[in-house]
Amino acid sequence: MKEISKLNLPDDVRYADDHEWARLEGDKVRIGLDDYAQDQLGDIVFVGLPEVGDTFAKGEEFATVDSVKASAECYMPVGGKIIAVNRELEESPQLVNQSPYKDGWFVEVKPADPSEMETLMTSAECLEKLKGK
């Protein structure tokens, strides 16, 4: 496992308490699992994703991740309608380990309330929280 100081926590995304990340891109939000979570889970072997058109409230479970170590649920950092799903993860779930913020994203949503992004942590706030664990 990585030391906290070695984690990749980009400044252009926001972070949820449950280790999902959210990046605002125009009028949509791209969502995935942060570097800390993928590191803790180890080698990811399966990602269960929702369907385009599904709608979730903030905090609702929207995906599952199975690794060689454990299974984990993923929760929506912002509520909205799924407008895209990263189907590459069906064949290559290891992309979450290799590139969690670029190729390993899970879904894109049309946010119901874009101001929910403001409730998420910045990279500095997320790092401070992790140091406190």
Backbone φ and ψ for 17, nearest 5 degrees, come out as -60, -30
* Confidence at residue 1, expressed as pLDDT on a 0 to 100 scale: 85
**Residue 23 clears pLDDT 90, i.e. is over it:** yes
Per-residue pLDDT tens digits for 88-117? 999 999 999 999 999 999 999 999 999 999
- pTM value? 0.95
Backbone φ and ψ for 22, nearest 5 degrees, come out as -140, 130
* Confidence at residue 133, expressed as pLDDT on a 0 to 100 scale: 61
Q: Which residues of 80-108 are buried (b: 16+ CB within 10 A; e: fewer)?
A: bebeebbeebeeebbbbbeebbeebbbbb
Fold (CATH) for 37-111? OB fold (Dihydrolipoamide Acetyltransferase, E2P) (2.40.50)
Mean local confidence (pLDDT), 43-51: 98
Mean local confidence (pLDDT), 29-34: 98
Residue in 38, 32, 19, 25 with CA at minimum distance from that of residue 85: 32
Contact 12, 22 (CB under 8 A): no
* Domain parsing of the chain, residue ranges: 37-111
Contact 78, 29 (CB under 8 A): yes
